Structure 1
């Protein structure tokens, strides 16, 4: 071979017109991963590894009479090669260039561009979901909003939302959108059975669950894997709809690509799940607040899972729950107790021994009892009732019986809620009645006043009230109330002043309107 060809920075082969390699330089041998002395005399088809189209050997089926250029991937070499054929007198020169690094750089750039595009679309999409959730007023609208926004997009194939049945892991399909194919049919069938769906696992864990390869992940029921394969689906993300310790449902998002959900997307969807859970909670509260008619449910709750039941058994005294403030995965409760000469400390000690109780504090004493602050985990009958949009109107536990009265909006499946509570705990329904809201004007007044407050202001005022902060002498200091809320003293005082100002403004404005309904807004 010519010395210049031997020293060339690219691979060079000298091939006869009928396709027999005469010679090649060291670079060509290296590119083709063959020994330098093993190319001469070999057919071109043996020197070149197989590619998808076999372009180089095919070019010598008839003697080449014009320049040709090919670019192909060679799996055996794991390389991209650019091959130029240049016919000359009685010889064809084959030039080889390894373009693997360039191809991989381009693939990386394409991947980054794709990720950036997907991230941009995803962020805009999730922003739209969050924006629409703010205006959704019912649970049906919330479910339809999520499905419409996620399912009818270019980056996801379809989405569905399921609602969690109270007190169990069962979920019921609420809405779906997108190209659901046969996969959604199989999901609905699985919901009626006992299949271990990824969506159910997301509810149990309370965090997003990803299946990166639907066809290969054996944790997914086989019927769904087969349907997903037929529908061309590659992966899914299941996101629980949560607020505090309550899980209201789940959204399942399906995509055609495997590994379609990046870590950043999972975090973003976690935000959507929390926002949707908050929206569902707010919708339930609003439903109760604005309902003309409500359901009043009276239950006997004698389950030892309730700390009040256990404490009554130990102390033989009566406990009245006067205030319940949900705080994420815990409930902050204030109770009044009737005790003997031992005082409320004995009841507080008995309550503190219960496994669900985090902390207790004696707030105040009086002649025949006292007040106690109690922090307990939300996984109790009271916590379950509150998580379903109920309002605890009264709760009394004592030797004469245990009674809990809760209000629920008519839009809730009251029978299902009652069945779930009585199935899970030692409880029974004593009475159920439907009534008009105007039968309780006090409740309406309270709801109207608290509607002006932020959640934090209401929480601060409610906690301070039940902790006897406003009594004289005070049953709790500002520091103790702030500690119960997990905030600083100055922050507590800020919330109290802001809340009191709003309540007084509502009171005096309402009084002025009653006294002089024609009074102008400027006071004249």
Structure 2
């Protein structure tokens, strides 16, 4: 069957893209339905007959566009080339935005001939969805490139910062030098404009800046910050909580103008405070100000936390070296008001004053040797107290009793883990007085903080730094601890604390052996071995060759 003559025109009407056919002069001869509908949408006030644009010169209309319309200029040049026969086809993409939406089209002009007459079909296809997707992809790629460049910059900056701060901390010979080098290096890194490191005075609990550096002319004044009283300051909060504290926008923080240096008025916009902590010892606080809000993002804060740990580790190493060479020790006296302290519990339960004469550990169980001012003490009364696993009578004197008290934790492991040496612990009338010897002020600060967190009221009554002998009892104790077995240590300690070496004796070797769950002969064997090693340490320099 032959196709109808009007089939091409009818088919053209069904196309979803706008199509016009022009002659070699550029006049529109034919448009399809999509063209006409688009014309009515673009110019709703026109009559229906005018939107088919038949008879309108397409090229002349395009040329009437604004002079700076590069798309119109390209369209005219391309159409003229096709109409003149210089090229068979021409295609271009162009925007055609309306006040309501953005849209893009693809125009394609293709020449064809009928009976040697040249015609050109001009089709317009909307490509808005594809164009929006392409633009979104380009924007995403640009953002990715910017993030990559930013990340490269951050990585380079952080890598250099970590390396230099680590070198500064590890290479310093004193704690002051660590602080000085670190703050100077930090302010050389954008966006930090001020860095200071503060320490806490053990007795007054006052936070004071020891070293600082800044990129401005502003001097750092010694402010009046005290733990427990200035919780709004990030340095105090970091020391109190043990966690970093960040304020992203100082202008919106009311208390900032009360700090030194004055925050918002000096051009500083954000601040971070990080405690310098190694184990249970806090050496101070690092405070950084930046000239940008939100300067301390999560990645930045992780790096600074790592640096704070490095700084504290370097300080700990320096303090450890100093402890090996210095002859100074710190002695603190604390008053503890808490009914949960084991010595206070015993004193309250027996209604007597008590004194802890020594501490030990047996098979991992903390042991306290407690003297009570009463010869008729019932150890069973003590055994039932909270936190006390067991209590036995070790020696009975004319005016008192020495108890061996097995504890379930508490004070003894706290002191042991932190290197504190018990010099005295007395309890009476609901209060206890604790005297400790420690290696330095930081250790004293750390033990005070731990005890303050654990007990109701802890008051620092005295703080003394004093010289120690060339070889302290603690040095001898440390050497004996390495040489004596656990049983030998316990036998020697019990014998001494129970006045076994006094005359007349208040306790027999058989009683001490029974308290250790061993035979009398085994007890004496442990005791003699311990005495032998003790005398070797006192009188014989060659302690390694003897058993």
- Using the size of structure 2 for normalisation, the TM-score is 0.53
> Take 1:170 and 1:447, find their aligned partners in 2: how far apart are those partners?
35
Does structure 2 conserve the Cα–Cα contact (< 8 Å) formed by 1:361 and 1:372? yes
**Residue in structure 1 matching 2:175, options 139, 143, 154:** 139
The residue that corresponds to 1:370 in the other structure is: 404
Asked if residue 118 in structure 1 is aligned to residue 150 in structure 2, the reply is: no
Asked if residue 292 in structure 1 is aligned to residue 359 in structure 2, the reply is: no
Does structure 1 conserve the Cα–Cα contact (< 8 Å) formed by 2:195 and 2:213? yes
Does structure 2 conserve the Cα–Cα contact (< 8 Å) formed by 1:287 and 1:409? no
Does structure 2 conserve the Cα–Cα contact (< 8 Å) formed by 1:152 and 1:158? no
> Take 1:475 and 1:268, find their aligned partners in 2: how far apart are those partners?
53
**CA shift for structure 1 position 110:** 1.7
Decide whether aligned partners of structure 1 residues 399 and 463 sit closer, same or farther in structure 2, where only a CA change above 3 A counts. farther
**CA shift for structure 1 position 173:** 0.4
The residue that corresponds to 2:474 in the other structure is: 443
Question: Equivalences for 1:371-520 in 2 at 5 Å?
Answer: 371-376=405-410, 391-397=421-427, 404-407=434-437, 425=458, 428-429=461-462, 434-438=466-470, 441-446=472-477, 511-512=541-542
The residue that corresponds to 2:276 in the other structure is: 241
Q: Report the 3-state secondary structure (helix = DSSP H, G, I; strand = E; otherwise coil) of the residue aligned with 1:346.
A: helix
**CA shift for structure 1 position 268:** 3.8
Q: Which runs of 5+ in 1 are unaligned?
A: 37-95, 326-331, 353-358, 477-502, 517-524
Does structure 1 conserve the Cα–Cα contact (< 8 Å) formed by 2:250 and 2:269? yes
Deviations 1:282-326 (A, max 9, x none): 5555544432344555x473633671234312222524163489x
Asked if residue 185 in structure 1 is aligned to residue 220 in structure 2, the reply is: yes
> Take 2:212 and 2:295, find their aligned partners in 1: how far apart are those partners?
20
> Take 2:193 and 2:393, find their aligned partners in 1: how far apart are those partners?
62
Instruction: State the aligned residue count.
Output: 392
> Take 2:488 and 2:384, find their aligned partners in 1: how far apart are those partners?
22
Q: Report the 3-state secondary structure (helix = DSSP H, G, I; strand = E; otherwise coil) of the residue aligned with 1:320.
A: strand
Deviations 1:443-468 (A, max 9, x none): 34446788xx9xxxx9xx99996799
The residue that corresponds to 2:338 in the other structure is: 304
Q: Report the 3-state secondary structure (helix = DSSP H, G, I; strand = E; otherwise coil) of the residue aligned with 1:161.
A: strand
The residue that corresponds to 2:249 in the other structure is: 213
Q: Which runs of 5+ in 2 are unaligned?
A: 1-17, 22-34, 39-61, 76-91, 104-131, 397-402, 495-511, 518-532
Asked if residue 16 in structure 1 is aligned to residue 66 in structure 2, the reply is: yes
Does structure 2 conserve the Cα–Cα contact (< 8 Å) formed by 1:373 and 1:467? no
Does structure 2 conserve the Cα–Cα contact (< 8 Å) formed by 1:292 and 1:436? yes
Decide whether aligned partners of structure 1 residues 398 and 411 sit closer, same or farther in structure 2, where only a CA change above 3 A counts. closer
Deviations 1:416-472 (A, max 9, x none): x99x99xx645644x96844423x54334446788xx9xxxx9xx999967999997
**CA shift for structure 1 position 106:** 1.8
**CA shift for structure 1 position 207:** 0.6
Query: Which piece of structure 1 moves more, 203-212 or 100-109?
Result: 100-109
> Take 2:515 and 2:191, find their aligned partners in 1: how far apart are those partners?
59
Does structure 1 conserve the Cα–Cα contact (< 8 Å) formed by 2:198 and 2:207? yes
Q: Report the 3-state secondary structure (helix = DSSP H, G, I; strand = E; otherwise coil) of the residue aligned with 2:349.
A: helix
Does structure 2 conserve the Cα–Cα contact (< 8 Å) formed by 1:334 and 1:372? yes
Asked if residue 337 in structure 1 is aligned to residue 370 in structure 2, the reply is: yes
> Take 1:118 and 1:263, find their aligned partners in 2: how far apart are those partners?
13
**CA shift for structure 1 position 239:** 0.8
**CA shift for structure 1 position 157:** 3.2
Does structure 1 conserve the Cα–Cα contact (< 8 Å) formed by 2:274 and 2:285? yes
How much is the aligned-residue C-alpha RMSD, in angstroms? Answer: 5.9
Decide whether aligned partners of structure 1 residues 213 and 468 sit closer, same or farther in structure 2, where only a CA change above 3 A counts. farther
Does structure 1 conserve the Cα–Cα contact (< 8 Å) formed by 2:183 and 2:211? yes
Decide whether aligned partners of structure 1 residues 407 and 145 sit closer, same or farther in structure 2, where only a CA change above 3 A counts. farther
Asked if residue 256 in structure 1 is aligned to residue 319 in structure 2, the reply is: no
> Take 2:327 and 2:134, find their aligned partners in 1: how far apart are those partners?
77
The residue that corresponds to 1:83 in the other structure is: none
